[in-house]
Amino acid sequence: MSRGGGYDRHITIFSPDGRLYQVEYAFKTAKTAGITAIAVRGKDCVCFVTQKKVPDKLTDPSSVTNIHKITPSIGMLTTGMHGDARSLVQKARSESAEFKFKYGYDIPPGVLARILADQAQVYTQHAYMRPLGVIPIIIGIDEEEGTQLYKVDPAGYFVGYKATASGAKDQEATNWLEKQHKGVDGGFEALTYDDVVQTAITGLQNVLSEDLKSSDVEVAIAYIPSMEKDGGVYQGGRFKVLTNDEVDHHLNMIAEKD
Amino acid sequence: MGESQYSFSLTTFSPSGKLVQIEYALQAVNSGATSLGIKASNGVVLATEKKLPSILVDDSTVRKISLVTPSIGMTYAGMGPDSRVLVRKARKCGQVYYRQYAEQISVAQLVRETATVMQEFTQSGGVRPFGVSLMMAGYDENGPQLYQVDPSGSYFAWKASAIGKNMVNAKAFLEKRYNEEMELEDAIHTALLTLKEGFEGEMSGDNVEVGIVGQDGVFRVLGAEEVDDYLKEVA
């Protein structure tokens, strides 16, 4: 009996046990980049942090980043192949701009996540394109719902999260986050800015078992300046990357807590 | 669909006359979380396990039962991302019909169109079959109806059926419990009891989703508290 002609590992057709090997391999790629990322969603702020690994002493560190601004209120962190990440970021920016043009308001993070996930699904079903070896984590402010955190994977699966992780040590990070979440009164959603950022950074330090300096990490947040709704919507939701000084401030607060 | 380099079908006959890609797709379905449907005398109920991978997942963003037209809903077992494609196509199909005739599409016709899409993906160039089985439920002038569609595109109308991991036990349970005169309320209780049979852990409104359509012809997904109330009644 033919086993898919032996191509089930080369293109996305089913294997005998009902799996898509190409999709599974794409997941592995997202880990080979060697960095880990953690994201936490709080009440007025959602944050993600990732390691900053500059591959070569001759590279200009300011040009090395895994964090990309998509709209003024949505940011994306990518773990995996850099080339695929650039393509994905371009698509995200293009879709967001088109949405704003068509409908007259900022794209909600969940809608953007769905668009990227649907595109990822197409790659798992059509042989002519391979799945992307990238896992994007999307943070942003939804005008009506507030803080949002989504993760999309190469299988086209996406859900909203209270906290999540991706990359090399994603499993350890997720375990740590689950324990922490249970220990916080009201869960992560009750936390505000300082606690959200410090939880995310502490998580990364914990999982990497090393103390981090501001030059080793990239931290970015999407926040709502005021939790008062104006005209039924949260105003002023913004995405920004923290400066080294701001990161140092948080690292100091964490050190003091110990 | 697909580039010219792949204008040959990936789903081809084996020497014994089987389409193995479809068989493999069914494997993917059978490892998915259980979903079931029961047709009552005055309505239909769909129920499904919402198996979330972690407590960190925000379950308010996860919807396994989807509204397709005001009186038709569907759920699935198998690959979630594939089901989104079919939900979208089914919704568009319903809208296109409404735009043409200013009337809601009938359940049988919508099921046929959706099944046709699934069949096309087993024969067209450069694509693989969908890794989902669908359970579609609706109420139209022919009364309550329940259909199951498989990755091959074949579909049947059912009085009660189950798909996914626990389908064998669930179907055996349903065969014993089903009767033609059952009303919607009983059907909901039976559906929850059937899911309970194979459920790992505690069932609650957060990890089970229920959708119903009654004689009013309005399909809706029950809220978590409503599901919890029903669960108390069957405990």
Q: What are the tens digits of pLDDT across the range A133-180?
A: 999 999 999 999 999 999 999 999 999 999 999 999 999 999 999 999
A161: DSSP letter:
B
- Residues 113-132, chain A, touching B (beta carbon < 8 A): 114, 117-118, 120-121, 124-128
Average confidence (pLDDT) over A7-32: 86
Q: Cα separation of B12 and A111, whole Å? A: 37
How close A18 comes to chain B (CA, Å)? 4
Set of chain A residues whose Cβ sits within 8 Å of the Cβ of B63 = none
**Which residue in the set A5, A124, A162 is minimally distant from B81, CB to CB?**
A124
CA A211 to chain centroid:
22
DSSP state, residue A162: S
Q: What is the b/e burial string over A58-70, where b = at least 16 CB atoms within 10 angstroms of the residue's CB?
A: eeeeeeeebbbbb
Helix (H) or strand (E) holding A173: helix A170-183
CA distance B14 to chain A (A): 6
Coil, helix or strand at residue B1: coil
Is residue A151 within 8 A of residue A138, CB to CB? The reply is yes
| pTM as predicted | 0.82
Q: Do A14 and B24 touch (CB under 8 A)?
A: yes
pLDDT at B210: 97
- The dihedral region occupied by A110, where left means phi > 0, alpha psi between -120 and 50, and beta the remainder, is alpha
Q: Which residue has the tokens 């393509």?
A: A87
Judged by DSSP in three states, A217 sits in: strand
Measured CA to CA, the distance from residue B87 to residue A136 in angstroms comes to: 24
**Mean pLDDT of successive 10-residue segments in chain B (235 residues)?**
69 87 94 96 96 88 94 96 96 97 97 96 90 97 96 96 96 94 95 93 92 96 95 90
Give chain A's radius of gyration (CA, Å).
Answer: 19
Could you read off the pLDDT of A210-238 as tens digits, one per residue?
A: 888 999 999 999 999 988 888 888 988 99
Asked if pLDDT for residue A1 goes beyond 50, the answer is no
Q: List residues bridging with A136 in a β-sheet.
A: A78
- Determine the Cα–Cα distance for residues A225 and A143; give it in Å rounded to an integer: 12
Predicted pLDDT at B172: 96
Give CB contacts under 8 A, 24+ apart, made by B168-174. Answer: B169/B197, B169/B198, B170/B34, B170/B36, B170/B194, B170/B195, B170/B197, B170/B198, B173/B197, B174/B36, B174/B38
Amino acid letter, residue A5: G
Residue of B nearest to A155 (CA): B81
pLDDT given at position A79:
94
Chain A's closest residue to B57, CA to CA, is: A161
pLDDT value at residue A3: 46
Tell if the CB–CB gap between A1 and B16 is shorter than 8 Å.
yes
* Model pLDDT, residue B4: 64
Q: Which residue has the tokens 């895994």?
A: A66
Residue A142 CB partners (closer than 8 Å, separation 6+): A108, A109, A110, A148, A234, A237
Q: Give the C-alpha separation, A26 to A154, whole Å.
A: 6
Contact A40, A177 (CB under 8 A): yes
> Which one of B25, B60, B88 has the shortest CB-CB distance to A14?
B25
Residue of B nearest to A180 (CA): B56
Residue A145 in contact with partner chain B when CB distance is under 8 A:
no
- Gap between the Cα atoms of B55 and A63, Å rounded: 36
Distance from CA of A191 to the nearest CA of B (A): 15
Mean pLDDT of all residues in chain A? 92
Q: Which of B22, B120, B128, B133 to mutate to test the interface with A (most CBs of A within 10 A)?
A: B128
Q: Measured between CB atoms, does A58 come within 8 Å of chain B? A: no
Instruction: State CA B56 to chain mean position distance.
Output: 26
Which residue(s) pair with A223 in the sheet?
A45, A238
In this structure, the strands spanning A217-223 and A45-51 are antiparallel
DSSP alpha helices (H): ranges in chain B?
20-30, 80-101, 107-120, 167-177, 184-198, 224-234
- Longest Cα pair distance anywhere in chain A, in angstroms? 65
